[in-house]
């Protein structure tokens, strides 16, 4: 009778190949052996820059000499004492490769200290991104690989133009510059604090003249670019619901990529009412935090598109989780992004890994020399696209000399603190 053992032995003898234990050994030898690096966190340090607002760069140091870097923004003012205080106290001595475990512990230890949103979550975000960079470097893998792998090699980027005024004699020249850079999507701002047509300095109910001006701006930029270039419009969450509905309605003819934050972010029902009133796609979420902040928005179908800010909403894996939640509602993911090439490349890794990615923001056209000199890799956007780095970690490295030109005076530059 032929047993399994004798079959394999026969196979080995007949073919000159190996027996089962030999085969297993051969497979093990040609595969990567399991060599999980043993690292311990030793320090957390920060640097602060003023670029598109206040940005905090954070570095996590280890006993093996490996360093991870991250970036936090928008709600980053005041985060260095959090990063170097309660967050560092928990991190020192820990294994940095348990990223999600550390994230959860840091977050839940702060439940009574504001860990639901704002500065606490933004501080945690910078740390989380630095941990992923560290994990990638330790394992020799790009971060997208650790987030589940790549859906796409290139990330489509839109340019926040900050040029929309038809009465600006240089507007066409500036828009021409954006067109020549090859962007396939552009965003403009239509909210105007100092519009002489405003009747009241506090109330944001737009007058007819204000709304007419907003529509003129949209028409002007829409007409400038060819149809294949998408146009998005931001209202910065300043207006009331009546204004939001009117602008969304009047903008319908322009087939916008999206209208962003027509009303403030706190009242999800108001956002839903606007969405239901118009065919203009409504996008929001840059002022929401964690998965928990997006749950109600998605459940109430209040947004056509979501735009978490990956450098403040919780970081790379948290953004992936938010994108996945949105995907179950068939809602695309178009992250807000105003950070340096370090944070932008970090965002690109998430955008590469999620199925429902739409487009990523870029907001540094007014500071191109700083943008191009911030990392050693130089310009990372080519014709409106970012090629996701295949190098270990985030894949970009700060060029200290270039970045330091934006250092906030009197703040430490990755110097150790007590």
Residues that bind Mg ion (CB under 5 A): 234
**Most distant CA atoms of the chain, gap in Å:** 97
Decide whether 71 or 234 has the Cβ nearer to Mg ion: 234
Q: From the CB of 74, what's the least distance to Mg ion, in Å?
A: 10
Q: From the CB of 106, what's the least distance to Mg ion, in Å?
A: 27
Q: From the CB of 181, what's the least distance to Mg ion, in Å?
A: 21
Which secondary structure element, helix H or strand E, spans residue 57, and what is its range? strand 53-62
Rg (the chain; Cα; Å)? 25
Q: From the CB of 238, what's the least distance to Mg ion, in Å?
A: 10
Name residues whose C-beta falls within 8 Å of residue 290's C-beta, 6 or more positions apart in sequence: 107, 116, 117, 121, 313, 314, 318, 322
Q: From the CB of 187, what's the least distance to Mg ion, in Å?
A: 8
Decide whether 39 or 188 has the Cβ nearer to Mg ion: 188
Q: From the CB of 413, what's the least distance to Mg ion, in Å?
A: 30
- Provide φ and ψ at 343, rounded to 5°: -65, -35
Decide whether 234 or 304 has the Cβ nearer to Mg ion: 234
Q: CB of 107 within 8 A of CB of 127?
A: no
Decide whether 71 or 261 has the Cβ nearer to Mg ion: 261
Decide whether 318 or 361 has the Cβ nearer to Mg ion: 361
Q: From the CB of 194, what's the least distance to Mg ion, in Å?
A: 19
Q: How far does the chain reach from its first CA to its final CA, in angstroms? A: 75
Decide whether 230 or 234 has the Cβ nearer to Mg ion: 234
* Sequence-ordered strand ranges (E) for 63-214: 67-72, 154-160, 185-189
Decide whether 264 or 412 has the Cβ nearer to Mg ion: 264
Alpha-carbon 381 to chain mean position = 15
Residue nearest to Mg ion (CB): 234
Q: CB of 259 within 8 A of CB of 247?
A: yes
Decide whether 131 or 233 has the Cβ nearer to Mg ion: 233
For 274-291, b where at least 16 C-beta lie within 10 A, e where not — what string?
bbeebebbbbbbbbbbbb
Q: From the CB of 286, what's the least distance to Mg ion, in Å?
A: 5
Q: What are the DSSP calls for 166-204, one per residue?
A: TT-TTHHHHHHHHHHTT-SEEEEE---TT-TT-S-SS--
In DSSP terms, which residues pair with 142 in a beta bridge?
Answer: 393
For residue 322, give both structure tokens: 């938010």
């Amino acid at each position: 009778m032929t047993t399994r053992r004798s079959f394999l032995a026969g196979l080995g003898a007949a073919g000159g190949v190996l027996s089962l234990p030999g085969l297993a050994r051969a497979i093990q030898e040609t595969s990567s052996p399991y060599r999980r690096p043993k690292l311990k966190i030793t320090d957390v340090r920060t640097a602060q820059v003023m670029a598109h607002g206040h940005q905090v760069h954070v570095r996590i140091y280890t006993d093996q000499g490996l360093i991870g870097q991250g970036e936090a923004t928008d709600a980053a003012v005041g985060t260095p004492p959090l990063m170097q205080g309660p967050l560092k106290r928990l991190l020192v001595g820990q294994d940095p490769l348990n990223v999600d475990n550390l994230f959860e512990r840091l977050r839940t230890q702060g439940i009574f200290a504001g860990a639901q949103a704002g500065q606490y979550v933004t501080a945690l975000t910078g740390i989380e991104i630095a941990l992923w960079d560290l994990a990638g470097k330790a394992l020799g893998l790009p971060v997208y690989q650790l987030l589940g792998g790549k859906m796409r090699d290139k990330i489509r980027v839109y340019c926040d133009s900050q040029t929309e005024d038809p009465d600006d004699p240089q507007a066409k020249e500036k828009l021409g510059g954006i067109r020549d850079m090859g962007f396939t999507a552009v965003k403009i701002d239509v909210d105007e604090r100092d519009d002489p047509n405003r009747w009241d300095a506090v109330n944001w109910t737009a007058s007819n003249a204000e709304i007419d001006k907003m529509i003129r701006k949209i028409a002007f930029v829409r007409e400038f670019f060819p149809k294949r270039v998408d146009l998005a419009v931001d209202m910065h969450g300043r207006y009331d619901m009546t204004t939001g509905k009117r602008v969304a309605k009047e903008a319908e003819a322009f087939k916008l990529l999206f209208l962003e934050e027509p009303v403030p972010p706190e009242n999800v029902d108001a956002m839903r009412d606007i969405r239901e009133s118009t065919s203009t796609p409504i996008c929001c979420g840059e002022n929401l935090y964690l998965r928990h902040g997006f749950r109600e928005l998605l459940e109430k179908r209040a947004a056509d598109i979501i735009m978490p800010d990956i450098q403040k909403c919780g970081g790379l894996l948290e953004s992936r989780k938010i994108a996945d939640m949105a995907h179950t509602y068939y809602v695309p993911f178009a992250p807000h992004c105003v950070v340096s090439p370090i944070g932008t490349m970090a965002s690109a890794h998430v955008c590469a890994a999620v199925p429902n990615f739409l487009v990523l923001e870029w907001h540094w056209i007014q500071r191109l020399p700083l943008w191009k000199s911030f990392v050693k890799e130089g310009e990372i956007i080519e014709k409106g696209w970012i090629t996701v780095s295949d190098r270990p970690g985030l894949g970009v490295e700060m060029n200290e000399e270039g970045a330091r030109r934006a250092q906030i005076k009197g703040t430490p530059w990755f110097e150790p603190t007590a």
